[in-house]
Structure 1
Amino acid sequence: MPKGNLRICKEGHRFYKSSDCPNCPICERARKPNTGFLALLSAPAQRALIGAGIKTLKSLARHSETHIASLHGMGPTGIKILREALRKEGLSFRTEKK
């Protein structure tokens, strides 16, 4: 017997969830990027960046690490991945204003 409550997303996918999270796992897999730095991140971290309008490393570099870390869904592992992706392209997070 599946765990959780049966849910149906707006696309008609049927899935079971035991949490209050409304995201359909089938839709999430279909949206996951296959290439680029976003593909390296977890789904919550991807949603955090896309929700903030960040889809490229150049746009990411316009933000401070503190700001990105404060986004809901972004954790320490995601920050580490982003720092490395920026470094590989010769970029870095914006310097904090003091």
Structure 2
Amino acid sequence: MVQAKSLRVCERGHEYYKSSDCRSCPICDKENKPKSGFLSKLSSPARNALNHEGIDSLQKLSKYTEREILKLHGVGPASLPTLRASLEEKGLSFKE
């Protein structure tokens, strides 16, 4: 069953339509996307999930296992190659 899209308004007054229960505003997400760094390479849901957990640096990311990261709502398997590559560029890796 596909849920119908409903009109929503975020805290900053942006109007947008969404069919999921996700509360993130796509307009705010686009405005808040970093210009550089590993977070700039990720989708908004993955970026929001990491930010929500306080993972804003590769050093912090390296303290987690891949499995722990995949458990975060918004992070899927497609994000892992990007995260792995970003870690490897700095000589880091996911926790074993």
Q: With the length of structure 1 as denominator, give the TM-score of the two structures.
A: 0.84
> How many angstroms apart in 1 are the aligned matches of 2:50 and 2:37?
13
2:23 corresponds to: 22
- Counterpart secondary structure, 1:47: helix
Structure-to-structure mapping, 1:1-98, within 5 angstroms? 4-95=5-96
Offset at residue 45 of structure 1 (A): 0.5
Q: Give the aligned residue type for 2:80.
A: I
Give the secondary structure class of the aligned counterpart of 2:16. strand
Of 62-71 and 4-13, the range deviating more from structure 2: 4-13
Q: Distance in 2 between matches of 1:11 and 1:21?
A: 16
1:54 positional shift: 0.5
Distance 2:67 2:93 in 1: 13
Q: How high is the TM-score relative to the length of structure 2?
A: 0.86
Pair 1:90–1:74, CA change in 2 (3 A)? same
Post-superposition shift, 1:48? 1.1
Contiguous gaps of at least 5 residues in structure 1: none
